[in-house]
Amino acid sequence: MQQIIDRFVKYVTIDTQSDPENPDFPSTQKQWDLAHVLVDDLKEIGMEDITLDENCYVMATLPSNVDFKVPTIGFIAHIDTSPDYSGTDVKPQIHINYNGEDIILNAAQNIVLSPSYFDDLLLYKGQTLITTDGTTLLGADDKAGITEIVSAMEFLVNNPEIKHGKIRICFTPDEEVGKGAHKFDVEKFGAEWAYTMDGSQVGELEYENFNAAGAKVIINGKIVHPGYAKGKMINSMLIANEFMRNLPQHEIPQETEGYEGFYHIHTMKGEVEKTELQYIIRDHDRKLFEERKVLFQKIADNLNLKFGSNLIEVEIKDQYYNMREKIEPVMHIVDIAEEAMKQLGLKPIIKAIRGGTDGSQLSYKGLPCPNIFAGGHNFHGRYEYVAAESLQLATDVIVKIASLTAEKSK
C-alpha cells in the first residue's frame, strides 16, 4: 500500500488543472508534465506499445499471457483536474488510522474536515486518509484512477501466474472541461470495451449518467446617469435576476438527488450594461432533458417579449448523453465488474452517475465504457480526500476484472 500512496502523492503534486476558456487541446500545457511522467512510469513497470500523441493522450498495452482468444479490454482515467478550484502547489496530508473525529486541514485558516458535515468520513474510520492542506483540491479526481491503473498493470506484469488477455490503458486530457473524449482514437485503442476509473465511494459501478448541456445567457442593458435614468436605463443585472427566478426554483443541485435533473448556475458576471450567466442543464431522461432546454429558451423568449426587445441571447450546446443506451446491449461488461467486486468481498453499488465521465462520450463513439469507483470524496474542492485502502481496493478490482475476462473466455 505504501507504494500506491507514494505513487498517488507523486501524481497529485503535479499541477494539471484544465481551462474551460481555452480552445486549445489540451487546454493547458501543464497537462503534458504528468503525461511525460506517466510515459516514463509505464516504461519502468514493463508496459509495451507506449505512445503519447500530439493531443496528450497516453496509451499503452499489457500483452495477453494466455494462448486462447480473450476480448481486449481497456482501463481509462483522466490527467486533468477541475478548473473550479486551484490545483497549484498541492500539499497532500497523510492521516494514519483515522479516529473518526475532525481533521484540521489548516489551523492558521481554521479549515476543518468534519464528519459532522461530511458523514462519509466515518466509512473510513481506522483507515489511512489522504487530504489536502485546505488551500487546494487534492486531485483524486482522477489521479486516484491513474494510480490504480498503473498499480494494477505493475502487479499483473510482476505476477504472470494471473492469466489475462490483452489490456489497453489510456490517460486522457481535458475531461473536466468536457473534451476528454473528443480526440480519443477508438480504433487505435483497439479494445472491445473499457472501464473508466473515475467514480467515488468504494463499490460504485455505474453505467448511466446525465444527459448534459452547457448554456450561456447574455443580457444586454443600457447605462445612463442614475439621476436621469427614468425610462432610459435598462439594468441587465435585474433582468438576469428575473430570468433566474423564472426557472424551477427547487430544481438545483443542492435540492435534487437520484434521477432528478437540475439547472445549475455556476458563473455570473454582471454590470448594468451587460450580464453573463453560465449554466449547466442535466437530466437522466432524454425526453425531460430536451424539455429542460426548451423551457430555458422559452423563458428568454418570454422576457424579450415583455421588454419589447431582444435583450437576452441564449446559446445552448449539448455536451454528452446518457451512456445507458449503449451499455444495455452489452450488459455482460457490467456483470463482469460486479462479479469482480463480489469476489473481492465488496458490495457493488450500482447507480446512475450524477455527472458524466469520458466513458459517456466514448460509449457513443463505439467503445462501451462503464464507470468504476476510484475511491475519492468531495471532488473539486478543498475538502477532497481518499483512503489509501480505497486505492488498493480499486487496484484489486482492475486485476480481478482482467483475470475474470480471461476465465470466462476459455
The residues facing 199 across adjacent strands are 373
Check residue 315 and give its pLDDT: 97
Mean pLDDT of 289-293: 98
As separate numbers, helices (DSSP H) first and strands (DSSP E) second, the chain gives: 10, 18
State whether CATH 3.30.70.360 applies to domain 211-320: yes
Judge whether residue 192 has pLDDT over 90. yes
Give the angle subtended at the CA of 292 by the CAs of 290 and 298, to the nearest 5°: 105
Judge whether residue 355 has pLDDT over 90. no
DSSP H helices in 198-278: 236-246
Judge whether residue 356 has pLDDT over 90. no
Comparing C-alpha atoms, which of 277, 267, 271 is closest to residue 221?
271
Neighbours of 88 (CB within 10 A): 11
Comparing C-alpha atoms, which of 202, 154, 182 is closest to residue 45?
154
Mean pLDDT of 312-323: 94
Q: How far is Cα 17 from Cα 352, in angstroms, rounded to an integer?
A: 26
Mean pLDDT of 370-389: 96
**Which residues form the catalytic set?**
80, 175
For 345-354, how does the pLDDT look when each residue is reduced to its tens digit (9 = 90+)? Answer: 999 999 988 8
For 107-138, how does the pLDDT look when each residue is reduced to its tens digit (9 = 90+)? Answer: 999 999 999 999 999 999 999 999 999 999 99
Least confident of 67-81, 83-97, 267-281, 352-366: 352-366
In eight-state DSSP terms, residue 123 is G
**CB distance 56 to 175 below 8 Å:** no
What's the pTM value of the predicted model, to 2 decimals? 0.89
Q: How far is Cα 276 from Cα 21, in angstroms, rounded to an integer?
A: 14
Comparing C-alpha atoms, which of 256, 210, 204 is closest to residue 377?
204
Mean per-residue pLDDT over the chain, rounded? 96
Top CATH class, 2-209+322-407: alpha beta
| First-residue to last-residue Cα distance in the chain | 32
Query: 73-78 and 167-172: which strand pairing?
Result: parallel
Check residue 308 and give its pLDDT: 83
pLDDT band at 187; cut points 50, 70, 90: very high
Judge whether residue 370 has pLDDT over 90. yes
pLDDT band at 309; cut points 50, 70, 90: confident
Enumerate the domain spans of the chain.
2-209+322-407, 211-320
Check residue 357 and give its pLDDT: 80
**CB distance 326 to 209 below 8 Å:** no
Kindly report whether the peptide bond that precedes residue 26 is cis, defined as omega within 30 degrees of 0. yes
pLDDT band at 106; cut points 50, 70, 90: very high
Which is it for the CA torsion 200, 201, 202, 207, positive or negative?
negative
Mean pLDDT of 54-61: 98
Q: How far is Cα 406 from Cα 155, in angstroms, rounded to an integer?
A: 16
Check residue 410 and give its pLDDT: 86
Residue 138 has which C-alpha cell?
Answer: 487534492
Burial class (CB in 10 A: 0-12, 13-18, 19+), 327: buried
Give the angle subtended at the CA of 100 by the CAs of 94 and 102, to the nearest 5°: 75
Check residue 22 and give its pLDDT: 95
Mean pLDDT of 203-222: 95
Check residue 178 and give its pLDDT: 86
Check residue 60 and give its pLDDT: 98
Residue entry with cell 424539455? 291
Q: How far is Cα 56 from Cα 180, in angstroms, rounded to an integer?
A: 10
